[in-house]
């Protein structure tokens, strides 16, 4: 009997260890419930526009009128804005990327999501906690079981407890997967913020240059009309012209002058918006004037393959990661309806004197295994699972919509470039014709072969033609930038350009708990 008892006492701990190892192995090897994520297929198309792209756009006899070649299958350059060949434009973009609060906010959101993902990963390991306490107690005769009052006395204890939930059905793994996917969402949104900010800076800068040139052209027309008014006043005084001719010139001058305040207001608003992009108040904006003549039109335009767009566009990447997170949440909700097995254990010391803690005879320990099978929760778990499945359907539809919008953006930009080239060619021809007409009308007016109204009409036509030409040049540059951003840009948030605040935050020491 003694030998048998000793043998069983020796075998029991070994059996418990083996059982624990088997249970943990089962937890690690168990399959995860819920769907395994797979990104949907991109649209099966080989081009963005209904008809095939031409080899190049038309050219125009004007500044920035060169033909642009479409290079199918080429990727967008990493710093695409440098293709415009303007140092001031480059400086503005880099300042915005380094100092814009929108970048700092997106970087902080990414760090937050990454820490949440790391925190979720802690569920893979057992939780270990240390505890200590002191309790003052007094037991009644009934409580003590000795038929007499016991105490009062102080009970001191110190212990270490371990708890571990066996992930038999992958609920923990799916939860970690969901958090990691949400981290990927924030990473893609950071890239999207970089891309959008760079595009906004370029577009605002080009609009600023366009408005400056429109104001300059309008001021030249105003000067011409003032000269005409001076001549008309002198001729009226000597009786060569009537008052109606003078009033017509004066009215036209006032009409032209009235177009200047709106242009200046738009220019001021554009510079204020540009200051916000650069991360400074409008009063502190320091930006050298930009002119359209100083901005080079990129001649070679990369056009990525449609299949590549899904990998390049940050908003599509964010939608993909969101779909991944929604897929994992279905697994989390499904696992919550299945049995949960938790292992727990503790070891410590209990004594009536603090100085006797951990001395011989004060040790205490416990080992437990708990099984929980949800039976009735009022439909809560079922409806949470259905909600997760509906969330997955929504995320899939959102992904499809994001892809469609991305393809639309690229198609719009490609077609705009073709039409912009045609518009610029037509506007250049119109401006040349209006300039020649004004010169001819002036000569005819000098010779008395035509009247003031014809001269005023020629001046008005030239003013409008010059404004239209400036707008056409700016549109061609802006739509080129729009194509670069629509294709997803080539630059990513892991580039060396970082906000000083973000760099300092990432370098800060962390304490793990």
Question: Using one digit for the tens of pLDDT, what is the confidence trace for 1-48?
Answer: 333 334 344 444 554 555 455 455 544 445 788 899 998 988 889 899
Q: Which is more confident, 322 or 367? A: 322
Q: How far is CA 57 from CA 53, 69, 164, 365, 372, in A?
A: 9, 7, 66, 82, 69
Which one-letter DSSP state was computed for residue 56? B
Question: What is the average pLDDT score of the chain?
Answer: 85
133: Cβ–Cβ under 8 A, 6 or more apart, which residues? 156, 157
Q: Please tell me the predicted confidence (pLDDT) of residue 411.
A: 95
Average pLDDT rounded to a whole number, residues 163-183: 91
297 — pLDDT class (breaks 50, 70, 90):
very high
**How far is 476 from 58, CA to CA, in rounded Å?**
12
Q: Please tell me the predicted confidence (pLDDT) of residue 233.
A: 77
Spatial CA neighbour of 281 closest among 498, 101, 504: 101
Q: What is the pLDDT of residues 351-360, one digit of tens each?
A: 777 776 777 7
197 — pLDDT class (breaks 50, 70, 90):
very high
Q: Please tell me the predicted confidence (pLDDT) of residue 423.
A: 94
Report the number of secondary-structure helices (H) and strands (E) in the chain.
12, 6
Per the listing, tokens 């729009």 go with: 482
Per the listing, tokens 């080239």 go with: 421
Q: The dihedral of CA 369, 329, 26, 338: what is its sign? A: positive
Q: What is the pLDDT of residues 304-327, one digit of tens each?
A: 999 889 988 999 999 999 999 999
For the chain, the C-alpha Rg in angstroms (whole number) is 38
Q: What percent of the chain has pLDDT over 70?
A: 87
H helix runs in 291-448, sequence order:
306-312, 314-335, 380-446
pTM of the model: 0.82
């Amino acid at each position: 009997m003694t030998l048998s008892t000793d043998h069983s006492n020796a075998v029991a701990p070994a059996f418990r260890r083996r059982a624990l190892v088997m249970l943990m192995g089962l937890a690690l090897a168990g399959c995860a419930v819920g769907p395994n994520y797979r990104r949907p297929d991109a649209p099966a198309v080989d081009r963005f526009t209904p008809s095939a792209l031409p080899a190049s756009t038309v050219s125009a006899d004007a500044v920035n009128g060169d033909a642009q070649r479409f290079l199918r299958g080429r990727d967008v350059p990493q710093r695409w804005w440098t293709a415009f060949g303007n140092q001031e434009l480059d400086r503005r973009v880099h300042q915005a990327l380094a100092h814009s609060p929108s970048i700092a906010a997106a970087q902080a959101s990414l760090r937050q999501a990454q820490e949440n993902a790391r925190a979720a990963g802690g569920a893979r390991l057992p939780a270990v906690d240390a505890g200590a306490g002191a309790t003052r107690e007094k037991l009644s005769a009934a409580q003590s079981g000795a038929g007499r009052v016991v105490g009062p006395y102080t009970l001191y204890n110190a212990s270490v407890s371990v708890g571990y939930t066996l992930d038999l059905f992958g609920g923990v793994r799916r939860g970690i997967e969901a958090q990691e996917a949400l981290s990927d969402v924030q990473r893609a949104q950071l890239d999207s913020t970089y891309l959008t900010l760079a595009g906004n800076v370029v577009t605002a800068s080009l609009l600023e240059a366009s408005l400056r040139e429109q104001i300059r052209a309008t001021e030249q027309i105003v000067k011409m009309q003032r000269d005409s008014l001076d001549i008309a006043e002198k001729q009226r005084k000597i009786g060569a012209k009537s008052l109606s001719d003078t009033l017509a010139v004066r009215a036209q001058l006032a009409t032209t002058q009235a177009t200047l305040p709106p242009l200046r207001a738009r220019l001021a608003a554009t510079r204020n918006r540009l200051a916000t992009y650069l991360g400074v108040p409008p009063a502190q904006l320091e930006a050298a004037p930009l002119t359209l003549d100083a901005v080079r039109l990129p001649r070679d335009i990369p056009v990525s393959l449609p299949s590549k767009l899904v990998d390049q566009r940050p908003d599509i990447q964010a939608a993909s990661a969101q779909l991944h997170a929604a897929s994992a949440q279905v697994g989390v909700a499904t696992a919550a309806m299945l049995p949960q097995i938790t292992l727990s254990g503790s070891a410590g010391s209990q004594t009536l004197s603090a100085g006797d803690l951990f001395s011989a005879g004060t040790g205490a320990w416990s080992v437990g295994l708990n099984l929980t099978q949800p039976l009735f929760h009022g439909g809560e778990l079922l409806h949470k699972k259905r909600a997760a499945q509906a969330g997955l359907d929504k995320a899939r539809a959102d992904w499809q919509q994001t892809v469609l919008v991305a393809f639309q953006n690229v198609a719009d930009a490609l077609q705009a470039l073709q039409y912009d080239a045609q518009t610029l060619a037509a506007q250049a021809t119109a401006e040349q014709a209006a300039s020649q007409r004004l010169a001819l009308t002036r000569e005819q007016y000098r010779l008395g072969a035509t009247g003031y109204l014809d001269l005023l009409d020629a001046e008005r036509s030239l003013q409008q033609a010059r404004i239209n030409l400036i707008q056409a040049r700016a549109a061609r540059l802006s739509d080129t930038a729009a194509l670069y951003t629509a294709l997803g840009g080539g630059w990513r948030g892991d580039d060396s350009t970082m906000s000083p605040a973000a760099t300092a935050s990432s370098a800060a020491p962390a304490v793990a708990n």
